[in-house]
Amino acid sequence: MRIKADRDVCVGAGQCVLTDPDVFDQGVDDGIVWLLAEVPGPEHEDKVREAVSLCPSGALSIVEE
Amino acid sequence: MTQSQAPELPVDQIPAFPMERTCPFHPPAAYSEIQDGDAPVKVRLTRSGRIAWLITSHDQVRQVLAHPGVSSDRTAPNFPLAVNLDPEEIKNMPKPALIGLDPPEHSVQRRQVITEFTVRRTKDLRPRIQQIVDDAIDDLLAAGKGADLVEHVSLPVPSMVICELLGVPYADHDYFQERTRALLSRDSTIEQGRRALNELGDYFVELLTAKEKNTPDDMLGRLITAGRADGTYDRDELAALARLLLIAGHETTANMISLGTVALLENPEQLAKLKADSGLLPTTVEELLRVFAIADVATSRTALVDMEVGGVLIKAGDGIIASGLAASHDPGVFPEPHAIDVTRSARAHVAFGYGVHQCLGQNLARAELEIAYETLFRRVPGLTLAVPAENLPYKNDAFIYGIHEVPVTW
């Protein structure tokens, strides 16, 4: 599972950081999504899927590999 | 699913909106009836006479709010305005900030302030929020039994937090709290609402003029500096933004502190679970946000293109009320939606809206609510209502739900 984060679409609500702070962060200078892991381990899969569904702007997606 | 227009009803038979609540802790009963039909219905706004689609299903509310073909422009002819303004007056309305803008203007303005509200920044504010809450509870206890929770805790806490963040003198709180009340009350005349909005705008123009001289290290000072650096600084525009952040930053959280406290006191088995395990604070806050979804109609829009929602064709130009409250009580997503369950995973609620306008200050609100509930029930373990919950003055008269006054004892 690979995560795609569209930094142009993100509105910085922070829902993803709240869901899995080991995978998602917000840039210090712009507050926009920043991936700490593009291909997170299987233990993060449920959280990542939750973050994608909670993201209000549609900036996050999952690319199955 | 086939597209169909809902049968055209004579205007006097179109259901009136807002709809009445029969229980202060539940959404209007009519929401569930509409939800059972699983399709948008037309409603007639009582004050403005405008007709709009009311959307109640979780799926459809999120679909509409995430749709690039909806607009938040309050000056659109069919926008579900709750008040009755003539077109000339609408043109003269003060310039909107954030909530009244569409992309790309909206994105530009939102990006100016995102860093002030990130999860990290909010975490850094927690020790200061804790102090503010502790001081407010000292004040409540000093006022004695029968004191009003709203006056001593619910309203001062978020007011002081947003004042410090923006760089607004807290000493002016009576001035902006009174005007916010006038602005959000359904009982205010159009003239009273407009005067309140203009006075708050003038207040910020004056405050910004003063801050331009020494650009202090607060949010407004930083925004002046950043705007000057890239040549975009516009005092009136920043005043409108500051006004919105101040209103949204204190009134909503204040109502949630009051409503959440009353709801927990009225559900002692849920309160006992929270007291036994403070690890339940985050889910408790999400559940209370979900149950009340106090800014229900803040998610009103106008369709810019034809769109099919729940088998109904919403035409370009139609007004839409995507109800955050109804969506957060959709039984398909939240089983037994009217029951308060502090262990529920409620984060899919629409209390903060959805789409590009989702609440900018949501993480600040979460921090304030967690700290307020935790501290209140820890420091005042015997807290009870001084009047029965059903007799409290709920804000059935306001655009943002809440309670005017909550006398408490201990």
> What pLDDT sits at residue B189?
82
Rg of chain B over CA atoms, in angstroms? 21
Burial per residue of B123-144, b for 16 or more beta-carbon CB atoms within 10 angstroms, e otherwise: eebeeebeebbeebbeebeeee
Contact A11 B114 (CB under 8 A): yes
pLDDT band for B10, please (50, 70, 90 cuts).
confident
Q: Please tell me whether the interface predicted TM-score (ipTM) of this complex is above 0.90.
A: yes
Nearest neighbour of B110 by CB, restricted to A11, A29, A58 = A11
Average pLDDT for B203-227: 97
Average pLDDT for B360-372: 98
Rounded alpha-carbon distances, angstroms, from residue B334 to B328, B330, B345: 7, 6, 9
The boundaries of the domain holding residue A35 are 2-63
Sign of the dihedral through C-alpha B342, B281, B329, B312: negative
Q: Which of B67, B109, B112, B119 to mutate to probe the A interface, most A CBs <10 Å?
A: B119
Residues in chain B: 410
Q: Report which of B158, B138, B150, B155 is spatially closest to residue B380, judged by C-alpha positions.
A: B138
Rounded alpha-carbon distances, angstroms, from residue B74 to B54, B252, B257: 17, 20, 29
- Which residues contact residue A8 at a Cβ distance below 8 angstroms, ignoring those fewer than 6 apart? none
Q: What are phi and psi of B36, to 5 degrees?
A: -60, -30
pLDDT exceeds cutoff 50 at B367: yes
Report how many domains make up chain A. Answer: 1
Helix, strand, or coil here: B279?
A: helix
Both tokens assigned to A18: 């709240």
pLDDT exceeds cutoff 50 at B2: no
pLDDT band for B1, please (50, 70, 90 cuts).
very low
pLDDT tens digits, B250-281 = 999 999 999 999 999 999 999 999 999 999 99
Both tokens assigned to B371: 């700290």
**Higher local confidence (pLDDT), B3 or B82:** B82
| DSSP assignment string, B155-212 | THHHHHHHHHHHT--GGGHHHHHHHHHHHHBTTS-HHHHHHHHHHHHHHHHHHHHHHH
pLDDT band for B187, please (50, 70, 90 cuts).
confident
Q: Are B175 and B206 in contact (CB under 8 A)?
A: no
Contact B118 A18 (CB under 8 A): no
CATH number at residue A31: 3.30.70.20
Contact A14 B363 (CB under 8 A): yes
Both tokens assigned to B331: 């039984």
Quickly count: other Cβ atoms within 10 Å of residue B222's Cβ.
Answer: 17
Percent of chain B with pLDDT over 90: 83
* Residue whose structure tokens are 């997170």: A40
A11 touches chain B (CB under 8 A): yes
Question: What is d(CA A3, CA A5) in angstroms, rounded to the nearest whole number?
Answer: 6
pLDDT tens digits, A21-55 = 999 999 999 999 999 999 999 999 999 999 999 99
> What pLDDT sits at residue B6?
52
Question: Counting beta carbons within 10 angstroms of the beta carbon of residue B97, is it exposed (0 to 12), middle (13 to 18) or buried (19 or more)?
Answer: buried
What's this model's pTM, rounded to 2 decimal places? 0.95
pLDDT tens digits, B137-173 = 999 999 999 999 999 999 999 999 999 999 999 999 9
Contact A14 B118 (CB under 8 A): yes
pLDDT exceeds cutoff 80 at B92: no
pLDDT exceeds cutoff 60 at B4: no
Mean pLDDT for all residues in chain B: 93
A65 touches chain B (CB under 8 A): no
> What pLDDT sits at residue B193?
84
Q: Range with the lowest mean pLDDT among B115-124, B189-198, B240-249?
A: B189-198
pLDDT band for B86, please (50, 70, 90 cuts).
low
